[in-house]
Each structure stands twice: as C-alpha cells, then as structure tokens.
Amino acid sequence: MSSTTHSYRPTDLPDASEMRFGIVVAEWNQHITGALLEGALRILRQAGAGEHAVTVMHVPGSFELIYGAAELARHGLVDAIITIGCVIRGDTPHFDYICQGVTQEIARQNTEGKIPVIFGLLTTNTEQQALDRAGGTLGNKGEEFAATAIKMVNYAWQLQK
C-alpha cells in the first residue's frame, strides 16, 4: 500500500477472518473502478477475509450505487458495504448532480441503516487524476476503502460487546 495515500498499513488492521463484506462496483469508467476493486479485494484478503465472505455486485453507473448498497444492506448478509465508483468532471455534464446525489444518499444510509457503508466514489476533474488514485502515482484508493470497512466493522463489533 502506498504511504502517500494514508498513514495506516495493512498490518495494523483488525483481523477480518470473521467479517463479511459487500462491494458494489459501478461499470462506468470500468478501467478505474476495476482497479479500485482489485485494491479493495487485496486488502480484505490480506486481513483474513475469506473468499466466500466477500460479495461483489455490479451496477451500471455511480448513481446506482445508492440502490445497490441499500438493497445489499437490506438482505442482511454482510457486515459492511464498500461502494466503488468514479465520476470524471470533464466527461460528465451532470457531474455535480451525480456526486451530490451519491454523497447524500450514502451518508443517509450510514445514519439510518444498520451497517457501515464506505464512500468509495472517486470524483476527479480529469481521467489522469482518477488513474493516479487507482494504482497509479498516488496509490490505490480501493485499498483505503477496504481498510476503512474493516475498521468500521471492528468499531461496530466493539460496541456490541
């Protein structure tokens, strides 16, 4: 994991071997979201999450992350959900509407739902900025999304004890 993106390392993470994760991935800008997904899966595995403990679901665009995450949570099969999408301002006439809609709805799901929903939406001005964050010069943000999910499940479980 690149040290330029954040300060924590995979070895600092709680054991994820008993945790179940859902990942909802947007198909728009697939070359970016696919790389973010790979990064997220890598960290989940390194932290001990089993192959069958990770459910990956695909939705068409970032806007559909809202429904995708809400429905996945409703089924009660996972302890946290990671959303992964990428909206590039230059390519997207209604960039602000998509970004605001997804941000507000994922925030709402975190306060009204029962499990953490990780906000893994890259919002960049250019494709290069997105590439930099999807395994490029600034590391892979997917790793950070996964590490955050593990930490939040651990947080929830600590409160349940």
Catalytic residue annotation: 94
Q: Which residue has the tokens 């997804």?
A: 102
Q: Nearer Cβ to ligand DLZ, position 14 or 38? A: 38
Nearest residue to ligand DLZ on Cβ basis: 61
Residues that bind ligand DLZ (CB under 6 A): 26, 28-29, 60-64, 85-88, 91-92, 98
Q: Where are the alpha helices (DSSP H) in the chain?
A: 30-46, 65-74, 95-112, 127-132, 141-160
Instruction: Give every CB contact of residue 49 below 8 A, 6+ residues apart in sequence.
Output: 16, 17, 19, 20, 21, 150
Q: Nearer Cβ to ligand DLZ, position 25 or 146? A: 25
Q: How far is the CB of 59 from ligand DLZ (least distance, A)?
A: 8
Question: DSSP code of 161?
Answer: -
Q: How far is the CB of 30 from ligand DLZ (least distance, A)?
A: 9
